[in-house]
Copies of this chain bind each other. A is one copy, B any other.
Amino acid sequence: MSLNTFGHLFRVTTWGESHGPALGATVDGCPPGVEIGAAALQHWLDRRKPGQNKFTTQRQEADAVKILSGVFEGRSTGTPIQLMIENTDQRSKDYGDIARAFRPGHADLAYHLKYGLRDYRGGGRSSARETAARVAAGGVARAALAALVPGLTITGYMVQVGPHGIDRSRFDATEIERNPFWCPDAVAAEGWAGYLDDLRLNHNSVGAVIEVVASGVPAGLGAPLYGKLDSDLAAAMMSINAVKAVEIGEGMAAAALTGVENADEMRMGPNGPEFLSNHAGGILGGISTGQDVVVRFAVKPTSSILTPRKTVNQAGEEIELITKGRHDPCVGIRAVPVGEAMMACVLLDHLLLDRGQTGGVRGTVG
């Protein structure tokens, strides 16, 4: 992975700024013959789209994706697929007053120091708006996965908002699409709604934890040692705006477990070895085992808040800054489809890598 490209064989390069004419993804390495249509990609973009409820930014963007290349008569040709999303609701004036100030928690200062100049409009390249391009690319990855691995599913959902986690005993996958938080626990979702309303009224924001689970992942994906499946997933999730931590399986909690507790014991099932638990999150030695691949990541609170914070500006003056605009009180909500997209891209990439390197060799058991 390097710079604005991620992936080894399924390579996605995103481009574009928050307030430029367009943004998009150059997708190289999609296998040929995959059915891909703008409508199918749009389905995923619509899930991420802002302005759909009061808990996400009120910026209005059609987020309409155009396929400029690489698809012919509805199928991928094996050549680069260019996905473009034009920016329509840019409202540059909203951001004019902070053109020369460094917002706390934002990349403003870091970009200024590194590059000597920056596109300050809406955060420029560092805006979460870039994640629309990821979701579009993830749609391509999903289409290819659907063709190559029938039955593979990827599901993301929120498991924590601020200090309030879900109750796993109430986990109901059918709830996920029923509330604005992609929450599998209907009771928790209700609590979050009130909690976020209060935060917004208080000009505040909060962090969240998202979990993404892939089921039906074939065993054998992952390229040890430095292209391990978990290593690439960690890089992919950590690259999402505002993410501060990534966990696989037990994650940080693994530190507190003993070896006896943490062992995922095995037995023989009808189709080969079966695990009795999944502390590992479906990955051992960097390679998928066939169990569910389980990734979690923490998103920090939205940095753009209406509460004044101390900072400095380019002139070196100390100021107090309120970040006006149309911001998500919990940016984690819109990170759910993004996490799913990254999972799809990484899995497809490793599927292609594995068939390249091993030809899909699989050792037998029994």
Contact = CB atoms under 8 A, between A and B. Distances in A.
A68 interface: yes
A357 B78 CA distance: 8
Interface in A179-203: 199
Interface string A307-344: 10111101111100000000000001000000000000
Contact of A207 (B21, B255, B358): B255
A159 B69 CA distance: 36
Interface in A21-44: 21-24, 26, 28-29, 31-33
A251 B298 contact: yes
Nearest to A126: B285
Top 5 closest A-B pairs, CB basis? Answer: A316-B366, A107-B285, A356-B356, A205-B259, A110-B287
Contacts of A73: 117
Interface stretch (A48-56, A149-157, A170-178, A215-223): A215-223
Contacts of A307: 259-260
A352 interface: yes
Contact of A246 (B111, B224, B246): B246
B228 A238 contact: yes
8 contacts: A78-B114, A107-B285, A109-B365, A110-B289, A204-B259, A255-B299, A267-B318, A276-B310
Given A77-B117, A268-B316, A220 B1 contact: no
Contact of A303 (B8, B263, B290, B309): B263
Contacts of A252: 209, 244-245, 247, 251-252, 298
B235 A109 contact: no
Given A16-B82, A26-B26, A31-B359, A117 B72 contact: yes
Contact of A106 (B104, B119, B284): B284
Contacts of A29: 3, 357
A249 interface: yes
A310 B267 contact: yes
Given A113-B290, A205-B259, A266-B312, 18 more contacts: A3-B225, A6-B226, A14-B225, A17-B69, A17-B70, A21-B68, A33-B117, A104-B263, A110-B285, A112-B365, A114-B358, A116-B361, A207-B254, A231-B239, A263-B309, A265-B310, A267-B318, A355-B356
A3 B223 contact: yes
Contact of A245 (B226, B246, B273): B246
A224 B125 contact: yes
A105 interface: yes
Contacts of A281: 244
Contacts of A303: 259, 262-263
A225 B82 contact: no
A205 B4 CA distance: 41
B13 A13 contact: yes
Interface in A60-84: 66, 68-70, 72-73, 75, 77-82, 84
